[in-house]
Structures are given as C-alpha cells and as structure tokens.
Copies of this chain bind each other. A is one copy, B any other.
Amino acid sequence: MKVVIDEPIPDKKQCVDSLRNVLDALYVLNGKWRLALILSLVQSSKRFNEIQQELTGISSKVLAKELKDLELNDFVVRQVYSTIPVSIIYEATAYSRTLKNVLGELSAWGGQHRERIKQSMRKQS
C-alpha cells in the first residue's frame, strides 16, 4: 500500500468506494415497491393477495413482476404447499435478511421524515 501525498482529501478513496457501493446497491434495490416488498416478506411470509393488501396501491401485474425479479435474484422463494387447494407462499430468503439493517435505518428515517413534514405543514397553515 503506497501512500501518495498529493491527495488533498485524506480518505478520498473511501468516499469513492462508498459512493460506488451505494450506486451498486441502488441498482438492485431501486424501484417504487421493491424495498417495501422485501420488508413485508421479511416480516412474515405471505401469499399473493395478502401482499397486495398490505402494499396498498400495487397492481397485480407489477406485484407479479417484482416477485419474479426478486425470485431470480434470490431475495424471495416461491413455495407451493400441496394443501387443498394448493397454497402459494412467498418467503424471504436469508439474503433478504441481510438487508435488515438497511431496512431498519430506512424505516427509522422515514418515521422522523414524516414527522418533519407534518411540522412544516403546520407552520404553513
């Protein structure tokens, strides 16, 4: 590891790296519903219609597409249980659960963000 003195900002490399990491993460996680869908399934496995009820507003078309994508990328498993009639349950994989901290922080931030918005609404009126 050679240290080069002509780097004005000391930890520039770290900055560039973390930027790249975030860009890479966004590449997979980007989308209106994706992270929320993962969170929903991490909280508990669900069937198609249950998810659709929880994520109010998502259309069946988009949900089906998102589930397929997430299955391909190993975030979700589609389990078919041979009950009568068959139950189709979507389950989060262990890999989805590596997003636990991300989702936790995002939820915390989202909560305080909503509070902030409420405050600024009050001021305006």
* Interface residue ranges, A against B (CB under 8 Å): 9, 15-26, 28, 30-32, 35-36, 39-40, 43-44, 54-55, 95, 98-99, 101-114, 116
Contact indicator B98/A109 (Cβ below 8 Å): yes
Residue of chain B at shortest CB distance from A116 = B95
Q: Is the CB of B40 within 8 A of A113?
A: no
Cβ–Cβ contact A25 & B109, under 8 A: yes
Report chain B residues within 8 Å CB of A31. 30
Known: A9-B44, A98-B112, A113-B28. A106 touches B22 (CB 8 A): yes
Q: Is the CB of A113 within 8 A of B24?
A: yes
9 interchain pairs, CB-CB under 8 A: A18-B39, A20-B110, A22-B39, A24-B110, A24-B113, A25-B110, A26-B36, A101-B105, A102-B102
